[in-house]
A = this chain, B = another copy of it.
Amino acid sequence: MKAEIISIGDELLIGQTVNTNAAYIGEHLTDAQVTVAKVTVIGDEEDIILDAFAMAMKNYDLVIVTGGLGPTHDDITRAAVCIFFQCGLVRNEDVLSDVQARFKKLNRPLSRINEEQSLVPEAAIAIRNTMGTAPGFWIERDGKIMAVMPGVPYEMKAMMTSFVLPRLTVLNSSAAHYTAKSTLLTTGIPESTLFEKLGSLDEILQGAKLAFLPNPEGVKMRITVCAATKEIAESRLDEIEQKIRAAAGRFIYGKNEDDLAEVVGRMLKERGLKLATAESCTGGNIAGRITNISGASEYFERGIISYSNAAKVELLNVDINTITKFGAVSEEAAKQMAVGIRLNSGADIGLGITGILGPTGATPDKPIGLVYIGISDANSVKAVKLQFGDDRVLNKKRATQAALALIRRMLLGISFDV
Interface residues of A (CB under 8 A from B): 10-20, 22-28, 30, 36-43, 48, 70-74, 102, 105-108, 111, 113-114, 130-131, 152, 154, 181, 183, 190-193, 195-196, 201, 209-216, 222, 277, 279, 282-288, 290-292, 294-297, 300-308, 310-311, 315, 345-346, 358-360, 367, 369, 387-394, 396
Chain B residues lying within 8 Å of A10, measured Cβ to Cβ, are: 209, 211
Smallest CB-CB A-B distances: 10 pairs: A283-B291, A15-B27, A284-B284, A303-B305, A284-B287, A15-B26, A39-B41, A302-B311, A15-B23, A284-B288
Given A48-B37, A192-B111, A305-B305: A154 and B391 within 8 A (CB)? yes
Chain B residues lying within 8 Å of A108, measured Cβ to Cβ, are: 190, 193
Given contact pairs A71-B191, A131-B394, enumerate 14 new A-B contacts (beta carbons under 8 Å): A12-B26, A13-B30, A14-B27, A19-B22, A22-B41, A39-B41, A72-B192, A111-B193, A113-B195, A131-B391, A283-B288, A283-B290, A291-B396, A310-B346
Query: Contact at B283–A296, with CB atoms within 8 Å?
Result: yes
Chain B residues lying within 8 Å of A358, measured Cβ to Cβ, are: 294
Query: Contact at B307–A300, with CB atoms within 8 Å?
Result: yes
Chain B residues lying within 8 Å of A213, measured Cβ to Cβ, are: 11, 16-17
26 pairs of residues in contact across A and B, judged by CB atoms under 8 Å: A10-B209, A13-B39, A14-B30, A14-B36, A14-B181, A17-B213, A37-B43, A38-B40, A39-B39, A39-B40, A72-B195, A111-B192, A130-B390, A131-B394, A283-B284, A283-B288, A283-B291, A284-B284, A284-B286, A284-B291, A285-B288, A302-B304, A302-B305, A302-B315, A303-B303, A310-B346
Most chain B Cβ neighbours within 10 Å, of A26, A30, A394: A26
Query: Contact at B294–A283, with CB atoms within 8 Å?
Result: no
Chain B residues lying within 8 Å of A107, measured Cβ to Cβ, are: 387
Closest to A102 in B: B389
Chain B residues lying within 8 Å of A106, measured Cβ to Cβ, are: 190, 387-389
Closest to A28 in B: B15
Closest to A44 in B: B211
Tell me the complex Cα distance, A369–B37, Å: 41
Nearest CB of chain B from residue A233's CB, rounded to whole Å: 15
Closest to A40 in B: B40
A interface, over-half SS: mixed
Most chain B Cβ neighbours within 10 Å, of A15, A22, A72: A15
Chain B residues lying within 8 Å of A294, measured Cβ to Cβ, are: 358-360, 392
Tell me the complex Cα distance, A390–B131, Å: 8
Tell me the complex Cα distance, A311–B300, Å: 11
Tell me the complex Cα distance, A279–B28, Å: 37
Chain B residues lying within 8 Å of A295, measured Cβ to Cβ, are: 360
Query: Contact at A196–B111, with CB atoms within 8 Å?
Result: yes
Query: Which residue from B13, B28, B38, B387 sits with its C-beta under 8 Å from A41?
Result: B38
Chain B residues lying within 8 Å of A102, measured Cβ to Cβ, are: 389
Closest to A303 in B: B305
Closest to A212 in B: B72
Query: Contact at A18–B11, with CB atoms within 8 Å?
Result: no
Query: Which residue from B212, B300, B306, B311 sits with its C-beta under 8 Å from A70?
Result: B212
Tell me the complex Cα distance, A39–B12, Å: 9
Nearest CB of chain B from residue A6's CB, rounded to whole Å: 11
Query: Which residue from B72, B210, B303, B304 sits with its C-beta under 8 Å from A191?
Result: B72
Query: Contact at B387–A192, with CB atoms within 8 Å?
Result: no
Nearest CB of chain B from residue A171's CB, rounded to whole Å: 20
Chain B residues lying within 8 Å of A360, measured Cβ to Cβ, are: 294-295
Query: Which residue from B190, B214, B292 sits with its C-beta under 8 Å from A396?
Result: B292
Query: Contact at A311–B301, with CB atoms within 8 Å?
Result: yes
Most chain B Cβ neighbours within 10 Å, of A14, A114, A191, A216: A14
